[in-house]
């Protein structure tokens, strides 16, 4: 399996993607269904869990 290469500045790339997602949801908020909302909340939860894990690892390394 090929490993995924992270961009040089991961923080900037991630923030750009998050901002793009925010703009997409805000511009179409009237069209968002209950099922779509649940899917988005689930993915956001996954992102938050991942960030929490990374934060825990970073706090242990300092």
Spans of all domains in the chain: 34-62
Determine the Cα–Cα distance for residues 22 and 26; give it in Å rounded to an integer: 6
Find the mean pLDDT for residues 15-34: 94
Find the mean pLDDT for residues 4-23: 86
Joined together, the tokens standing for residue 48 give 């938050």
Determine the Cα–Cα distance for residues 49 and 12; give it in Å rounded to an integer: 20
Q: Phi/psi of residue 2, each to 5°? A: -85, 135
User: Rounded to whole angstroms, what are the CA distances from 35 to 2, 42, 51?
Assistant: 34, 11, 25
Find the mean pLDDT for residues 26-32: 94
Provide the whole-model pTM: 0.71
pLDDT above 70: residue 44: yes
């Amino acid at each position: 399996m090929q490993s995924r290469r992270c961009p040089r500045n991961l923080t900037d790339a991630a923030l750009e993607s998050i901002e793009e997602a925010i703009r997409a949801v805000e511009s179409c908020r009237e069209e968002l269904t209950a099922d779509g909302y649940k899917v988005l909340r689930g993915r956001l939860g996954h992102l938050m869990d991942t960030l929490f894990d990374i934060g825990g690892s970073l706090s242990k390394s300092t």
